[in-house]
Amino acid sequence: MKQMLDELKKLTDGIGRPLKLMEVCGTHTVEIFRHGIRDVIPKNITLLSGPGCPVCVTSVHDVDAAIAISRSPGVIVATFGDMMRVPGGAESMLEARSKGADIRVLYSPMDALDLAKLEQDKEIVFFATGFETTSPLIAGTIAHAEEMGVKNFSVYVSHKLVPPALKALLDSSDVQVDGFILPGHVSTIIGRRPYEFVAKEYKKPSVITGFEAKEIIEGILMIVRQIAQKRAAVEVQYRTAVRDEGNTRAVALLEKYFEPADAYWRGIGVIPKSGLKLRDAYAAFDANKKFNPPVSTAKEPDLCSCGDILRGVKIPTECALFGTGCTPDAPVGPCMVSTEGSCAAYFKYGKY
C-alpha cells in the first residue's frame, strides 16, 4: 500500500493542481471514512460524495405515497429498516406507524411475499428502494408471486439507475469533478459497459472499485494515472467481481419485469429514464396502480443541503443544519438518516 501512496503523491505533484474525485456509492463513502483514507492520500485530492445512497435519493413524494397506502384498510406496508426514519412531507414511516399505520421492517422482499401467504386477508405492499443491486431481487420476488398465484402482494417501486444520474451530474454546470470512483455492488450487476459514455462523451476517467482500503486506494491511483496521462477510460479495479457484460441473468430478469422511467431524485429533481417501473404485463403487482395514492405536493426541508451534497457541490459540514439542527438522532434530511448517507458518515467518523 505504501508503494501505491508514494506513486499517488508523485503523480499529484506532477499534475500540479487540486483534484476532485467523486465516490458515487454510499458504501464507499462510509468505507473511506472508516479506513481513514482521507488522512493518507495527498491533500490536494478532495473526495466528494455522490448520489449513490438509495435511501438518500428516495423522494419525499415516494415516502408520502407509501404512508398513504399504509393507511388504506387492510394494508400492511413492508420496507427495509433504513427507510423508516426518512422524512416525508409531514412525517416519516416510523412516525406514521406510531399513529396506527401497519408498517413493518423486513429484511428482504421474499419475507414480504411470505407474509402475504400468511396474512391472506391483508394486502401486503413492499416499498422497494435501491439501485440495480436490489432491483433484481424485486423482479425475482414478483416472479415467485406470479408462479405461486399470490394475489395479495404488490410492490411500490422506487428504484433508481446509476448511469443516468451520472449523466445528469456531468451535464450540470455547477458539478466540477475530475474523475469517478464507480460503485462496486451496482457494477456486479450491470458490468462496465454502461459507463463507457463517461469516458467517450465527457472525457472523465473512472474506475469501478472494491471496498477494502487497499482496493479504494488502488482505484484512486488508477484514476489519477489516467489524469496524469491525459486520457479517459472506464477501468475495473474490482476485477474479482465485475465483468464487462455484468450479470447477464440478473439483467435479463430486470428487463423482463421493468422498463426505464423518469424518476425524481430527492434534492436533485427529475432525471429522465433514471428509474424503473413495472411493465404493463405485471400491473397486478404494481402498488401504485393498485392503490392510486394521492400525489404529494410536499417540498424539501428548508435549509437542508442534501441535494447539493448528493451532487458533490457541497460537503456535509457546509450545510447550515449539520450537527446542530440535523443529527442522526433528529435528522432533517435523508443524508443524515441512512448508514450510507454522507452526512451520517461525516457525523460518525469526521472530526467535526
Give the model's confidence band at 295: pLDDT under 50 very low, under 70 low, under 90 confident, else very high.
Answer: confident
pLDDT of residue 297: 83
pTM: 0.92
pLDDT at 351 over 60: no
pLDDT at 272 over 70: yes
Give the model's confidence band at 2: pLDDT under 50 very low, under 70 low, under 90 confident, else very high.
Answer: confident
Tally Cβ neighbours within 10 Å of residue 127.
Answer: 27
Give helix 26-34 / helix 213-228 axis angle, nearest 10°: 110
Give the model's confidence band at 158: pLDDT under 50 very low, under 70 low, under 90 confident, else very high.
Answer: very high
Domains in the chain (CATH in brackets) are: 20-27+45-165+178-189+244-341 (3.40.50.11740)
Q: For residue 189, what are the contacts with CB-CB under 8 A and spacing of at least 6?
A: 132, 133, 136, 246, 247, 250, 251, 254
